[in-house]
């Protein structure tokens, strides 16, 4: 039976879709049959970040409305054999998503996949609630800033009260914390929240810390999940997070400010 994993946050712009693409790719690279679903109906960015925007013919709304079969809408990734993408619609309203329709898709996908990742829209509107409703696990993405952490705390409350597991009084959704756009130098200056403060507020296990990195933007612009850039700090951090997700012990990297030598102090230098 597939594990349904929602990638969610309270606030927009924290890197949910980047994280969904990276995680799905990382799981597939590890031999897990993985599908990632874009629930952001009306906007649709996952296909761009995955580099498959020109291959979209049908989408999740077409499947729910009976205009296409699921296997017609699924896009197989050309780089990683065990990875597939189910895009969102750009032209339809979020009300086109229904609980019954989403349930049917997840049940069908569960027959063939090990992991179903749901890339949630921000906040708690309909698309976001449907993305998290069927979740077995949740990756809560937050930036090290007060408003982002506060909104993530709100999402944790929704996960604990409005998921299918909560309704059925089953074991709760397993929660993981992913901190993105982390800059230890700015943390030292007091411009960002410390990791300890974020963990204290949210009180869920830390899955990974993704450093602020220009390679994330570059990867998004080229349609290549950043985890495939093994030279970048962000790519390495996502790979570590996937390993932890799969139960491996990995120390957290890129969370301390780098001690600069004289040349770096003189000439600067940013993370890759």
**What pLDDT is attached to residue 198?**
97
| Residue 126 contacts residue 18 (beta carbons within 8 Å) | no
Mean pLDDT of 162-191: 96
Token pair 């963990």 is found at: 199
Residues 200-230 have pLDDT tens digits of: 999 999 999 999 999 999 999 999 999 999 9
| Letter string b/e over residues 213-236, b meaning 16 or more CB atoms within 10 A of that residue's CB | bebbeebbeeebbbbbbeebbbbb
Return the bridge partners of 5, or none.
117, 137
Rounded to an integer, what distance in angstroms lies between the CA atom of residue 164 and that of residue 175?
15
3-state secondary structure of 223: coil
Rounded to an integer, what distance in angstroms lies between the CA atom of residue 167 and that of residue 55?
38
Rounded to an integer, what distance in angstroms lies between the CA atom of residue 182 and that of residue 65?
41
pLDDT above 90: residue 242: yes
Q: pTM of the entire structure?
A: 0.93
């Amino acid at each position: 039976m597939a594990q349904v994993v929602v990638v969610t946050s309270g606030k927009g712009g924290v890197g949910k879709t980047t994280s969904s693409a990276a995680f799905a790719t990382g799981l597939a690279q590890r031999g897990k049959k993985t599908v990632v679903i874009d629930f952001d109906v009306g906007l649709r960015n996952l296909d761009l970040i995955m580099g498959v925007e020109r291959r979209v013919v049908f989408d999740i709304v077409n499947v729910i409305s009976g205009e296409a079969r699921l296997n017609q809408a699924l896009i197989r990734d050309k780089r990683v054999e065990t990875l597939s993408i189910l895009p969102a619609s750009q032209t339809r309203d979020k009300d086109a998503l229904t609980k019954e329709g989403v349930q049917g898709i997840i049940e069908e996908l569960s027959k063939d996949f090990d992991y179903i990742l749901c890339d949630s829209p921000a906040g708690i509107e309909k698309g976001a609630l449907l993305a998290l409703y069927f979740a077995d696990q949740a990756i809560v993405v937050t930036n090290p800033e007060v408003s982002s952490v506060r909104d993530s705390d709100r999402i944790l409350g929704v996960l604990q009260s409005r998921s299918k597991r909560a309704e059925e009084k089953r074991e709760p959704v397993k929660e993981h914390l992913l901190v993105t756009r982390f800059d230890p130098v700015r943390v030292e200056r007091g411009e960002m929240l410390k990791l300890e403060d974020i963990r204290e507020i949210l009180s869920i296990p830390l899955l990974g810390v993704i450093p602020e990195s220009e390679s994330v933007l570059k990867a998004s612009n080229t349609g290549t999940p950043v985890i495939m850039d093994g030279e970048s700090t962000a790519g390495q951090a996502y790979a570590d997070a996937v390993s932890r997700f799969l139960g491996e012990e990995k120390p957290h990297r890129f969370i301390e400010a780098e001690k600069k030598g004289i040349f770096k102090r003189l000439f600067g230098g940013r993370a890759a």
